[in-house]
Each structure stands twice: as structure tokens, then as C-alpha cells.
Amino acid sequence: MISKQKMSLRGLRTFCVAARYESFRTASEELFITASAVSHQIKSLEEELGEQLFDRTGRDISLTEIGSLLYEEASPLIEQLNTVVAKYKKGAVKSSIRISVQPFFASEYFVPRLSEFTAEHPEIDIQVGTSDESSEKHPSDADLSIRLFRAPPANMPSNLLFPLRMVPAGSPEFKKAMVVKKKKIVSDFPIIVHETRPKAWTHWADAAGVELPENSKVTRLDSMIAIVRAAQRGIGAALVPVPIGDLWFKEGSIVRLFKKEYVADVSYYLVCTEDRADDESVVLLRDWIVRNFADST
């Protein structure tokens, strides 16, 4: 039971950011504090509530049932409080931009670099939303979004960033056990499939000229973060987006199983609402995103 003692708003804010990404590391980058500081604040909050908010398995974390309920109720309140504080903060925040980014792109690629922009433009408040994983749709409550589209969205200013490219990946142990003979995988080869791209493995095999085993065990998940974590734990092979997932490869927690990449028929676009397209702060952020994330070719 929650005591009548005042709860730490800082701890609750930190919890909401960590819960959004299910990552202390990514939360620390958004909050500009160390991952150990995030962990300490979460632990203090758990002790204050008398409830465990995250399940911790090695380096991975996931929300408990209580943690999920708290996040659902607390997150909109924290966002509302941040908006109110920003309104009355003297001279610090002159402009606010809400950008919606698909979760894996946000946690692995966008947020780790965002501090570069905020350091250059401390007068601009950036709110990153990651709750919407849908493709080909600009969220109505966002000024900017980074989404997968087959073609540039009509009637909205947009910038092409890069096509969706995916490469087969698995744990180092998984790769050691893999046996390929004459471009045919002859060892056990369970695959992990993203529910939005059920035929991606077939497309990759056709492009690579590799024959997949018949009747492979299939694990279906609806989150790219969950897919990469499943591959990391040796559950199966996954098609991981590059360069978005490069950090996982650099850390060695997953490795490429084949060199051949599959280029999908969709690309990441930076999309802007027409009413803010000429806003100076939005132009600055759009230019920075294109400079740092768009293919140069």
C-alpha cells in the first residue's frame, strides 16, 4: 500500500521514461543522467511503493503487472505536469515540439543522439512519443513523426531518410550451431517473425538464394525490441533492421548470420504537419534529423 508520505516526482518521472523504453540505458540518455542513477531512482520508488515495478533478467528489464498499471495512469499526468511547468518556466523553453517515433527507431537510434540537438538548442523542448508503432500514419497529436511509408505521404511535408533494410541475426551460440550446405540451412533453424511482416523471411531467402528448412519453429512477436531480445536469448533467428540495430551488433549480444540484407518496399520518412512546417524550431529539428539520419546516397 502507498504511504501518505509525499512521493518523489523525480522518481516517478524517471520511472515513466524507463517504462516507455523498457530500458534504463535509453532512459538515462533521454534524462541526461547515468544508467545507475536511473536504476537507483527506480529502486527507491519501488521501496517507497512496496511493489516491484520491473522484472530484471540480466541486462533486460520488463514491466511487471503493477508497473504497467502505474505507467498507464502516471504517464499522462507527468506529461500534463511537464506542459504546465514549461508554460511558466522563465525564458528556458520558448518552443515545444512533439515528435512521434516508432519504438525501436527511438530507443536504438534517435534518442541516443538527441542530446546533440538539445545541447545546441536548449531553448527548444522536445517531447518524444513512442507508444504508436503503426506504419503509414502520422499521429494526430504529433508535430513531427518518423514512420515507415511505401510512398511519401500526400499533402504533408516529408523527407526520405532511408529504406528499411534487414539482416538475419541471432546469438553467438545460435550462429555456432548453424550449419549451411550448398546454400541450404540443414541445422535446426527456428525463426522469429514480426507480425506486421509475416513474409519477410521468405523475401529474404529469395533475395539471398538461401533455402530455409521446412517446418521451422516460428515465434511471432509484435515488437521489434522484443524480437531482438528474443534473438539475443537464443530463441531463434530474427531479421533485424540496420543501421538501426547496429548497437546490438557492436555490443556482440547478437551477430549477423548471413551478409545478405533484405531491402523492403517501405522506407523511413520524416513527416511534418503543414501548420508547423515553417516554424523556426521545427525547421531546425528537421534539418538536424535529415543531416544525421538520412542516407547520403
The predicted pLDDT at position 146 comes to 95
Q: Looking at per-residue confidence, does 296 or 250 come out higher? A: 250
Average pLDDT value over all residues in the chain: 88
Q: How confident is the model at residue 86 (pLDDT cuts 50, 70, 90)?
A: low
Whether the predicted pLDDT of 99 surpasses 70: yes
Measured distance CA(243)–CA(279) in Å, rounded:
30
Distances (CA, A) of 80 to 3, 27, 105, 181: 24, 19, 25, 58
CA-nearest of 90, 161, 142, 105 to 276 is 142
Model pLDDT for residues 27-67, shown as the tens digit of each residue: 887 787 888 888 999 999 999 999 999 998 877 888 999 99
Measured distance CA(77)–CA(81) in Å, rounded:
6
Classified by CATH at the fold level, domain 163-264 comes out as D-Maltodextrin-Binding Protein; domain 2 (3.40.190)
CATH placement of domain 1-87: 1.10.10.10
Model pLDDT for residues 197-215, shown as the tens digit of each residue: 999 999 999 999 999 998 8
Going from N- to C-terminal start, the domains of the chain cover 1-87, 163-264
Q: Is the pTM of this model over 0.85?
A: no
Is the preceding peptide bond at 243 cis, omega within 30 degrees of 0? yes
User: Would strands 191-194 and 237-242 be described as parallel, antiparallel, or unpaired?
Assistant: parallel
Model pLDDT for residues 111-143, shown as the tens digit of each residue: 989 999 999 998 888 988 886 666 788 888 889
